[in-house]
Structure 1
């Protein structure tokens, strides 16, 4: 029986982060969980393509826009399950076991990991706690937390929209809180933007962007302001 999981990673000039992301997938390869890794790249100008191909991943070049890149990945994927993962996210060692359990026990649910920032700053712990509470209370995990979803459920909710920003919010809202589970493993994501902009400032900026989206501001308009 073929391995069930297609891992899909959208990239843009991700050469610095991608190697560690790919390395963290090894437990899934060793256990026979991963069928393929697909890197959907928006014509990076660094070494992203070379890194992806050297790792044995399937490399796809597509137009810029994370929604569009993720759609391209699913169109190429052969697995019965998808794991969408950001290139600057590293999964904790136990992730493959937790995903296998989810696929066996909760086939009608999507899943997301627990958020962790790769920083020793105490403000990182404050933000993680806040983000994980929000994710559970509202059923709105960040894209940084990854998204595990069966092909059947993905098709049922209409897949990712072709938008430049908020594609992660749109698909988990379509899935709904009652069909979303949280996996007991960590998605350890980069803290570079928070360290650059300030933890609280960046957190409130992101919250304000989400609030504006929920109030009806278009993803394209928000994408033009996002850095």
Structure 2
């Protein structure tokens, strides 16, 4: 397997300021195809996708899970990788997948785009979550064997928590591979809301989801 056997799916909603860098990182990593699944952007996202040379542009109902499921339906490579629009893949990331051997799914170590020391602790915590709880978040660029992913239920068409739902389902079948990557992620949400406050909010969402709260209810909380 080579990086050309990987489809990178990027869900977007008004991501004009971030999308070009995400697409370029996927191309530099050698992706066989880059798919943008848009949930109804009103800014220049679609035009930027075309200029950036994405291979497939999908119009989808909004909701990250719904958009990723729409992208998965048109992907045709052996492996799919789910990349947030404000994330960037390391140039060697797809090669690392190719060296995994047989696998069902996995994710990457993070690098938060800030020099603040507190973010190094956030990165360690997020990586530990994958190692010890087998739960990967979407901003860790989850990847999976496409045919096996479809066999085991695909991606849930929900507005939020599709990553936790996917991890919870797949970890019952196989432990995720955590690769060094890195995937570089924007610090915008932590910067806007405060590192501690945002981290506690993320934990709260996970606990509420585990206790049975619906993704629709949690999405409203997340947006607020």
Class of the TM-score when normalised by the shorter of the 2 chains: over 0.9
Aligned to 2:197: 201
Which residue number corresponds to residue 115 of structure 2?
Answer: 120
CA RMSD in angstroms, aligned pairs only = 1.6
How far did 1:36 drift? 1.2
Contact 1:157 1:171 in 2 (8 A): no
Q: Which residue of 1 aligns with 2:78?
A: 80
Q: Does 1:218 align with 2:219?
A: no
Task: Give the aligned partner of residue 158 of structure 2.
Answer: 163
Aligned pairs for 1:42-53 within 5 A: 42-53=39-50
Partner of 2:34: 37
Aligned-partner SS, 1:226: helix
Q: Offset of 1:27 from its aligned partner?
A: 3.1
The equivalences for 1:62-73 within 5 A come to: 62-73=60-71
* CA shift in 2, pair 1:153/1:179, >3 Å: farther
Count of equivalent residues: 220
> Deviation of residue 5 (structure 1)?
1.3
Secondary structure of the structure 2 residue equivalent to 1:24: helix
In structure 1, runs of 5+ residues without a counterpart are none
Contact 2:104 2:144 in 1 (8 A): yes
The alpha-carbon deviation at position 109 of structure 1 amounts to 2.5
Give the structure-2-normalised TM-score. 0.93
Q: Distance in 1 between matches of 2:192 and 2:180?
A: 29
SS of equivalent residue, structure 1 residue 204 = helix
Secondary structure class of the residue paired with 2:99: helix
Match of 1:175 in 2: 170
1:185-209 alpha-carbon deviations (Å, 9 max, x no partner): 1111111110111101110011011
Matched, 1:139 2:134: yes
Q: Which runs of 4+ in 1 moved over 3 A?
A: none
How far apart in 1 are the matches of 2:175 and 2:207?
Answer: 23
Q: Is the 8 A contact 1:41 1:69 kept in 2?
A: yes
What SS does structure 1 have at the residue aligned with 2:32?
strand
Deviations 1:62-83 (A, max 9, x none): 1111111011101111112111
* Contact 1:111–1:180 under 8 Å retained in 2: yes
Tell me if the contact between 1:27 and 1:96 (Cα under 8 Å) persists in the aligned partners.
no
What is the distance in 2 between the residues matched to 1:61 and 1:144? 22
Which whole-Å CA distance do the structure 1 matches of 2:140 and 2:220 have between them?
A: 23
Give yes or no for contact 2:111–2:184 (8 Å, CA) kept in 1: yes
Quote the residue 1:110 is aligned against. 105
Q: 2 CA distance for matches of 1:76 and 1:152?
A: 13
